[in-house]
Amino acid sequence: MDWPVIMEKTQDQITFLGAARTVTGSRHLLTLKGKQVLVDCGLYQGNSELRARNWQHFEFNPEDLDAVVITHAHLDHIGLLPKLVREGYSKEIYATPATCDLAKISLPDSGRLQEEDAYHHNKHGSKHQPALPLYTESDALKAANQFVPTPCHQQNNLPGGATYRFLPAGHILGSAFAEITLEDGQVLLMSGDLGRYGTPLIKDPTVVEYADYLVIESTYGDRLHPVADTKAQLKDYAQHIWKSGSTMIVPSFSIGRTQELLYYLFQLELEGELPRIPIYVDSPMATSVTHVYAENREELDKEAMRYIDEGKDPMHPSGLVFVRDRNQSKALNSQSGPMIIIAGSGMANGGRVVHHLLQRLPDPQTLVLFTGYQADGTLGSYLEGNHTTAKILGQEVAVRAEIEKLSALSAHADQGEIMKWLMCFKSAPKTTFIVHGEPLAQQALQKKIRQELGWDTVIPGHGDNFSLTN
């Protein structure tokens, strides 16, 4: 097939090919002196219209790409790499060391899920005969092998006469801004996902003072996160289940959220606020990710390092047991509380947590504690609606469990935190491109930036293309 020539190829430019006026599918193509560099290669997630985009042809020939730069290991930033590699991309994928380690866990897992989806569709009848996976575990392993670790702050060459360095972004372990210096000396800063100040375990977002062009995410560009003392809330719930002999089921995301919870539980125990309760992390992926957090010490913040220097493991409360084996997971069914089971997925729309919910929702000695936003259509969102029954894996069960939520946890900066980070710039970028947000969030952030900083901002549409020449 022919791939469209986007603009005269000798002119440095950026083309927005994903996460444009939507949150997922991050993909930005840089053309630098005729060379092509892709920043992030994410999966679209969400409704079927968005997911259908994952099956469309790339707007460029993957064989013609000269380099790929990755900001962090969430699937909406890396999840389409296996397809890119299967379709001919064979060169380096640059990322921080921790992002490389996390991608080696999450990409094969994503490949397995894609294969399971195809199997499920074939078994239950699909309009596509046969239904094929978007990519396979073997495609994902191949992509994972092309990762080249680049430590933060280190300046490295890119094709097209440019250089780049990663700067910690405070979002998840390994997350980074990609600061790209063009051949003419201009600086393009790609925020990836912007983290929050004071997040446990990982460093705060790096202060950036200068960029000629800025690409900024806007997931929460129109709102402020609720203010709450998450550790104190967790303490209350943990003490409650200890006194009542209940089981706490925590649907949790494997990367970031699970480690944060373990850290809070570790601190509560250290402070004498949490008696020794069995805590099961029932997820092979969350188990592997927790080990990656522990192995990438250079990414951890001062407080976490202080515990490590004292010989403590800040992600290991004393009752912690990692459950990898499926039979061991099933054996938890016959165990009574008090205990805490942390399992994926975070929205309870798959994974081992669904089996625990099926088993324990009818039991009033159960507390389900959600740890983040529950998207429409997920079991998590349904349970938040306080229904008396739920249909899980084809079975109708009574819901007698208590349903609670830790509402203040988020890995993304809110509007106030985005503005706080932007206010560190000493001069206005020539253009600030607002991406990775729903239109209303983007417009609210654009208005705020115009009002408070007076900067030129653009909300690019899909396929929009801008010159970066001086």
Q: Contact residues for Zn ion (CB under 5 A)?
A: 74, 193
For the bound state, the minimum distance from the C-beta of residue 217 to Zn ion, rounded and expressed in Å, comes to 8
For the bound state, the minimum distance from the C-beta of residue 90 to Zn ion, rounded and expressed in Å, comes to 26
> Which residues partner with 247 through β-bridges?
339, 366
Q: Which is nearer to Zn ion, 166 or 382 (CB)?
A: 166
- With CA atoms as reference, report the closest residue to 332 among 247, 244, 237: 247
Q: Which amino acid is at 258?
A: T
154: alpha, beta or left? (left if phi > 0; alpha if psi -120 to 50): beta
Q: Which is nearer to Zn ion, 30 or 173 (CB)?
A: 173
**Cβ(343)–Cβ(251) under 8 Å?**
yes
From the CB of residue 24, how many other CB atoms can be counted at a distance below 10 Å?
A: 22
Beta strand pairing call for 13-18 and 27-32? antiparallel
Secondary structure class of 119 (helix, strand, coil): helix
- With CA atoms as reference, report the closest residue to 66 among 54, 84, 42, 79: 84
Q: Which is nearer to Zn ion, 21 or 72 (CB)?
A: 72
**Cβ(45)–Cβ(75) under 8 Å?**
yes
Q: Which is nearer to Zn ion, 82 or 170 (CB)?
A: 170
For the bound state, the minimum distance from the C-beta of residue 2 to Zn ion, rounded and expressed in Å, comes to 33
Give DSSP secondary structure letters for 60-105: S-GGG--EEE-S--SHHHHTTHHHHHHTT--S-EEE-HHHHHHHHH
For the bound state, the minimum distance from the C-beta of residue 259 to Zn ion, rounded and expressed in Å, comes to 15
Beta strand pairing call for 13-18 and 465-467? antiparallel
Q: Which amino acid is at 322?
A: F
Q: Which is nearer to Zn ion, 74 or 356 (CB)?
A: 74
Q: Which is nearer to Zn ion, 74 or 142 (CB)?
A: 74
Give dist(CA 116, CA 404) in Å, integer.
31
Q: Which is nearer to Zn ion, 16 or 242 (CB)?
A: 16
For the bound state, the minimum distance from the C-beta of residue 321 to Zn ion, rounded and expressed in Å, comes to 28
Neighbouring C-alpha atoms within 13 Å toward the C-beta of 248: 29
Secondary structure class of 147 (helix, strand, coil): strand
For the bound state, the minimum distance from the C-beta of residue 43 to Zn ion, rounded and expressed in Å, comes to 12
In the structure encoding, which two tokens stand for residue 169, read together? Answer: 């972004």
Secondary structure class of 202 (helix, strand, coil): strand
Q: Which is nearer to Zn ion, 74 or 448 (CB)?
A: 74
For tokens 């403590």, name the residue: 312
From the CB of residue 427, how many other CB atoms can be counted at a distance below 10 Å?
A: 10
For the bound state, the minimum distance from the C-beta of residue 460 to Zn ion, rounded and expressed in Å, comes to 19
- With CA atoms as reference, report the closest residue to 396 among 362, 371, 422, 364: 362
For the bound state, the minimum distance from the C-beta of residue 370 to Zn ion, rounded and expressed in Å, comes to 19
Q: Which amino acid is at 250?
A: V
| Sheet containing strand 163-168, strands side by side | 156-157, 163-168, 176-181, 187-190, 213-217, 431-435, 457-458
For the bound state, the minimum distance from the C-beta of residue 74 to Zn ion, rounded and expressed in Å, comes to 3
Element (H, E) at 109: helix 97-123
For the bound state, the minimum distance from the C-beta of residue 21 to Zn ion, rounded and expressed in Å, comes to 18
Neighbouring C-alpha atoms within 13 Å toward the C-beta of 197: 10
For the bound state, the minimum distance from the C-beta of residue 129 to Zn ion, rounded and expressed in Å, comes to 35
Q: Which is nearer to Zn ion, 193 or 260 (CB)?
A: 193
Q: Which is nearer to Zn ion, 234 or 413 (CB)?
A: 413
For the bound state, the minimum distance from the C-beta of residue 132 to Zn ion, rounded and expressed in Å, comes to 27
Q: Which is nearer to Zn ion, 179 or 193 (CB)?
A: 193
For tokens 């994928």, name the residue: 93
Q: Which residue is nearest to Zn ion (CB)?
A: 74
Q: Which is nearer to Zn ion, 26 or 267 (CB)?
A: 26
Secondary structure class of 451 (helix, strand, coil): helix
